[in-house]
Amino acid sequence: MNPDLQKLQPYPFEKLRALFAGVTPANLPPVALSIGEPKHASPAFVMETITRELPRLANYPTTKGLPELRQSIARWVCQRFKLETLDAEQQVLPVNGTREALFAFAQAIVDRSRNPLVISPNPFYQIYEGAAFLAGAEPLFLACDAENGFLPDFSQVSDEQWQRCQLLFICTPGNPSGATLSVAQLQDLIRLADQHDFIIASDECYSEIYPDEANPPAGLLQAAAEMGRDGYDRCVVFHSLSKRSNLPGLRSGFVAGDARVLDAFLQYRTYHGCAMPVQHQLASISAWDDEDHVIENRRLYREKFAAVTEILNPVLPVTTPDGAFYLWPETPICDQEFARRLYEQQHVTVLPGSFLSREVNGRNPGSHRVRMALVAEPAECIEAAQRIRRFIESL
């Protein structure tokens, strides 16, 4: 067996099941705010496309994907992030969702012979850590807490660590805080990547969920383009239809950016055997080409954030994040005890923040926080908020 498998920790939801072992929840309908799986309706026209194109099951898909899909993605990226150009042939690669792609990317990019370091935020999407370990790298976690606006403090990285860094994972809007990096901050990272020769992998799968229609979150390619760099050297972004279009089961996303890097990643993926089914590619085109359903999706999230924050704020200070669909409040008691007792007394499931983080220098930046995913329909989210308030008032 690969000895690096021993370095992997249980996934947060496995830890949650263990936390709830032996607990009998209250006799109330369950409400799950723990998993970031969108519950809004999937676009009907996407499902119609899949149904219509089912005969394409007879075709082997190519790893590089249909030219029409890559062109649709390139058009969307240019429009969304105000790019002059993005080469659909060399700078775009469809993938089976960002989870698969983020993990595989590290395996293709990291040179394990050079004592590699992979830097990521903390808390973080656990795939970043697993990808680093299985690529033979050491992960370095940067705490994201209230003092630094829930963003990594990159000034804490030494020159020696930057020199060892081969891959920097960033997530903007962030999971779980929803905090976003500005264009200026992204450009600072690009200059660091130039100086120390590492690649930036920007996980932007929450980029299309934000509160202000006039102020969408910035993206890494946008920051590079504003520097006059349409080659997007050392910059790679990851996007998905899971959150944007409520299509988590479609397993459809893309990677875009530096053509040299994507060429190597394509070679890896050709051997990895992970081509997207043709009917899913055609359905993805219909999703990327339509914005109306995405605008309606954001409206529903705004409605839920407004209602839930109004209910919770008297007992649990919360604010609508810059992006994504999570609340990340500080808990009045230990986060694990909070989650366990809430489940027991109100049958509401939230995720302890310490399960999403790693302890560094005796401190876990997720401690005394919980992640609440407002993914259910508005009425269910409101019901959950009311139960959480009753629970806190009973403490």
The tens digit of pLDDT for each residue in 2-25 reads 999 999 999 999 999 999 999 999
Q: Given this model, what pLDDT does residue 57 score?
A: 86
Number of neighbours of residue 185 by Cβ within 10 angstroms:
16
Residue-wise pLDDT tens digits, 209-226: 999 999 999 999 999 999
In angstroms, the Cα distances linking 93 to 17, 51, 97, 99, 147 are 36, 24, 11, 15, 37
CB 351 within 8 A of CB 331: no
- Angstrom distance (rounded) from CA 269 to CA 265: 6
Q: Given this model, what pLDDT does residue 232 score?
A: 98
Domain 3-41+293-394 is classified in which CATH homologous superfamily? Answer: Aspartate Aminotransferase, domain 1 (3.90.1150.10)
Angle at 285 between CA 280 and CA 290, to 5 degrees: 130
Residue-wise pLDDT tens digits, 91-142: 999 999 999 999 999 999 999 999 999 999 999 999 999 999 999 999 999 9
CA dihedral 100, 105, 106, 112 (to 10 degrees): 130
If 0-12 CB within 10 Å is exposed, 13-18 middle and 19+ buried, where does residue 15 land? middle
Q: Given this model, what pLDDT does residue 375 score?
A: 96
Q: Which fold has domain 59-290?
A: Aspartate Aminotransferase; domain 2 (3.40.640)
Question: Is 394 a residue whose pLDDT tops 90?
Answer: yes
Mean pLDDT of 182-205: 98
The full set of domain ranges for the chain reads 3-41+293-394, 59-290
Mean pLDDT of 62-91: 97
Mean pLDDT of 344-372: 96
Mean confidence (pLDDT) of the chain: 96
Q: Given this model, what pLDDT does residue 115 score?
A: 96
Question: Is 292 a residue whose pLDDT tops 90?
Answer: yes
Which of 291, 287, 296 shows the shortest CA–CA distance to 240?
A: 287
DSSP secondary structure letter of residue 311: H
Sheet holding 370-373, edge to edge: 326-327, 370-373, 351-352
Q: Given this model, what pLDDT does residue 273 score?
A: 84
Q: Given this model, what pLDDT does residue 75 score?
A: 98
Predicted TM-score (pTM) of this structure:
0.96
Mean pLDDT of 197-208: 98
Mean pLDDT of 134-162: 96
